[in-house]
Amino acid sequence: MYPETDIPTQSIDNQKWQSIIDNLPMTDAQRQARMDNYEVSADQKEQILAKELDDQFVDFHSDLPAKAWATVLLENDGVDPRLSSLVLTAKEEGELTREAINLVIAHFSNSLPTYEEIVAYAEQQGLKPADESDLVGIIESVIAERLDFVKERGLGAIGPLMGVVMQQAGAADGKAVSALLKQAINEVTK
């Protein structure tokens, strides 16, 4: 190769060279090793690395559950990760249902609201989870109305009753409803 004649040569001293070495991007192996520190599925890890979202994952992870954060980040690729982490924080603190996460993110996708604005929007739209004591009451009444069906089907009644309970409960966390329903059915069928 011939030296470039239009650009003056630059000499790089040891300090400059060390600065360059210290600021090199991570290798794929280093990025993989960094993701190994988090409890996410192999598939999520692979997708995060392939989409080069690992820096966002690590930077905004803080106290969020790793699997949930990975899911939200992957489902909302291209959205400001600050918004995604705020919405997931609101979900983790019981301010909105798991099913509402993507709706809230889509609503605020062109802005960066405060935590309070997210909570207010979730409440206004009926996306706040139903209180557990309310759920217990709803589940008890649904089971009482369909007691023969529940005794006949046992835990097989969870699926059909799930829809009825969710319809009456409005915005409720599906996992919470399923767990409470299972517990109530077990008590009735003892």
- Amino acid identity at 12: I
What is the pLDDT at residue 121?
A: 94
Q: Which letter does DSSP use for residue 62 in this model?
A: T
Tens-binned pLDDT, residue by residue, of the chain (190 aa): 677 888 888 888 999 999 999 999 999 999 999 999 999 999 999 999 999 999 999 999 888 999 999 999 999 988 999 999 999 999 999 898 888 999 999 999 999 999 999 999 998 988 887 777 778 888 888 888 888 888 888 888 888 888 888 887 776 777 888 888 898 888 888 7
Closest CA to 84 of 53, 60, 66, 62: 60
Integer Cα distance of 100 and 79 in angstroms: 16
Q: What share of the chain is helix, strand, coil (3-state, %, to 5)?
A: 65, 0, 35
**Three-class SS state of 66:** helix
Domain range annotation of the chain: 29-124, 132-188
Q: Sign of the CA dihedral 101, 104, 107, 110? A: negative
What is the pLDDT at residue 119?
A: 93
* Spatial CB neighbours of 171, under 8 Å, sequence gap ≥ 6: 96, 97, 99, 100, 126, 127, 128, 129, 130
Integer Cα distance of 16 and 46 in angstroms: 35
What is the pLDDT at residue 102?
A: 94
User: pTM (2 decimals)?
Assistant: 0.70
